[in-house]
Chain A
Amino acid sequence: MRMRRLPKALLAVGAVIVAAQLVRFAPTNPPVEGDLTAPAEITGILRRACYDCHSHETAWPWYSQVAPLSWLIHHDVNQGRQRLNFSQWSDYASDPGTASEKLRQISRRVAGGDMAPLYYRILHRSTRLTAAQRDALVAWAEQEAANQELSH
């Protein structure tokens, strides 16, 4: 009895997965409007560990087109770009208080080990930061935030 139900259950799951492919999101990388300028060491770390979700230069993996994973990835990229977008940094910089706040958040999130998110680090080994890289990023963000605060 159980064995007879199994193929039906698998068919049902398969049908749901196939139907899910009808809900698609186009991977978008809008133009870069004003990218962050920082020392090469820092931009190297940011590009490797952060830019996929926090810029308009997302490297969309093949599975970003396969539902339901695609839904999660698109959601994360949209949220990430809303919260912090290095491709629009010049917008933040036109209000020094905002640039300072963004830099302080980068510092806090990186120092606290919250960024990049754990699941993303598991999927992408290259985004894992060494202690030295984290320290460099935090020191840079704190210094730039202080510079911003002095400027206004």
Chain B
Amino acid sequence: MLLGTPPVRADDAIPEITLQNGRFEPAQLVVPANTAFKVRVTNADKAAIEWESFELHRERVVQPGETITVYIPALAPGTYKFFDDFHHDTVSGAIVAQ
């Protein structure tokens, strides 16, 4: 009822972001603008993280060793920051749509 089905997206070449040693790698992920996509987020650290982006309206808890898939709608060209809301000393990153 709340929920629609996520739009169909191409499954090839799903970009990945990994958190390791308190840093996101890559810190800046470049994606095509105006195209919906998925991104895989892996937590390679030893504590749970909360991968969050106010600008993308995304918020996901990722347990240690876990990989999640986040659906992102088509983005207008621009920079969209993300961060770990459980550890504010973690270096933030960004998705850049261009």
Write the nearest CB–CB distance from A37 to chain B, whole angstroms: 6
A36 at the interface (CB under 8 A from B): yes
A92 at the interface (CB under 8 A from B): yes
Q: How far is the CA of A148 from the CA of B71 in the complex (A)?
A: 14
From B1, B57, B70, contact of A37 by CB (8 A):
B1
Number of residue pairs spanning A and B whose beta carbons lie under 8 angstroms apart: 54
Known: A97-B68, A98-B70. A92 touches B1 (CB 8 A): no
Question: Main SS of chain A's interface residues?
Answer: helix
- Chain B, Cβ-Cβ closest to A33: B57
Q: Which residues of A contact B (CB under 8 A)?
A: 36-38, 82, 85, 88-99, 101-102, 144, 147-148, 151-152
Q: Which residues of B contact A (CB under 8 A)?
A: 1-7, 54, 57-61, 68-73
- 7 new A-B pairs (CB below 8 Å) besides A36-B2, A94-B6? A85-B57, A89-B2, A94-B71, A95-B71, A96-B6, A97-B68, A144-B1
